Amino acid sequence: MTVAGADVAVAGAPFAAHRVLGIETSCDETAAAVLLDGRHIASSVVSSQIDLHARFGGVVPELAGRAHVDLLTPVVAEALAEADLTGADIDAVAVTWGPGLVGSLLVGVSGAKALAMAWGVPFVGVNHLEAHLFASTLEQPDLEPPLVVLLVSGGHTFLVELEAPGRYRLLGQTIDDAAGEAFDKVARYLGLGYPGGPVIDAISAEGDPTAFAFPRALPGATYDFSFSGLKTSVVRTVERHPEAATADVAASFQEAVVDVLVAKTMRAAEHVGATGVCLAGGVAANSLLRSRISEAAASAGIAAYLPSRAMCTDNAAMVAAAGWWRLAHDGPSPLSLGADPNLFLDLIA
Ligand code: KG4
Ligand code: ZN
């Protein structure tokens, strides 16, 4: 079979797409979105599998993959319908090809290739981490680099200097748990359910953040993070103070995480002379992190760019945005592209 659009586009020539369909299946969210001209979100549909995994206290990879198979087609259909378009109107299909759960990624990648071939349009693989970085800037038309971006999700925690789209310099990263993972583990230990971030965020509003002085790891000059000691300290504290109010423990834990995230982000921003700081990833939805980073940026006289909460957690609009830019910059991906569960950002020195 000859697929004209896909074949021509695979030649690697930059491709300007008007309407991009984005697909995201790297973890437990099945998502599809239509993005116009790389910036305007015509639709963004996210079907969360939280209820499916909640009783196991975390994402079960086998269940996630099977659920994506069931959900992908209806979610794509809904995204097209909400944008008032059909497949014939789509100019390119962008999909997350890593990092993430390999079985889940493969569902999205295979589905995206099938749609691109059926519609005769280019296909582009998107790095999920780069998509989160695009999410932090998608809603902000007048960003001026250099920016420092704090990406904090369930699987990753790092600080990058964004010199320009596609040009990322790693400043520091977690040496053990991701920030979201720490929220999830502490919430599970406190019996608060899954996912832990939103519930700790909510319950902390009723707690005293000064009740317990949890450790702030790696306070020195490094931009690296460490959260596993903090989690252990929460466990020890609850063992020693079984009478402690859960809201106080949660609020004190959240305070310790946010303290470190904000201090390092602001120090990095000063170091690189950033015009602003951006948040990205699921933990960027955290209320305390959002208010503290806004206050810190305001007092440093630089901008704070906070994506909407829906744009912080996994979604396909950010995949379409990164895909649109990659298409315009590098051209489409070959249809031989697979899934890479361990993909990291392409960094500059
Ligand atoms: O980016 P994301 O949706 O998925 C990954 O790529 O990992 O991030 C999910 C993570 C989970 O660990 C969840 O607990 C955390 O983001 N999270 C939050 C909040 N909302 C989600 N953490 C703290 N406060 C929140 N409000
Ligand atoms: Zn994510």
**117-174 tens-digit pLDDT:** 999 999 999 999 999 999 988 888 778 899 999 999 999 999 999 999 899 999 999 9
* CA distances to 158, 168, 169, 271, 343 from 349, in Å: 16, 9, 6, 16, 18
Q: Which atom of ligand 1 is nearest to the CA of 194?
A: 14
The closest residue, in CA terms, to atom 19 on ligand 1 is: 197
Q: Which ligand is nearest to the CA of 281?
A: 1
The closest residue, in CA terms, to atom 10 on ligand 1 is: 154
As a whole number of angstroms, the distance between CA 215 and CA 48 comes to: 34
Predicted pLDDT at 185: 95
State the distance from the centre of ligand 1 to the C-alpha of 160, rounded, in angstroms.
19
Ligand 1 mutation target, pool 152, 183, 200, 258, most atoms within 8 A of CB: 183
The model carries a pTM of: 0.93
Residue (of 274, 296, 343) closest to 95 by Cα position: 343
Is any atom of ligand 1 closer than 6 Å to the C-beta of 184?
A: yes
For 55, residues 6+ apart whose C-beta sits below 8 A from its C-beta are: none
Q: Which domains does the chain have, with CATH numbers?
A: 7-133+314-330 (3.30.420.40), 145-311 (3.30.420.40)
State the distance from the centre of ligand 1 to the C-alpha of 49, rounded, in angstroms.
14
As a whole number of angstroms, the distance between CA 320 and CA 318 comes to: 5
Q: What is the mean pLDDT of residues 251-255?
A: 98
Joined tokens for residue 240? 């020693």
Owner of token pair 């020539």: 13
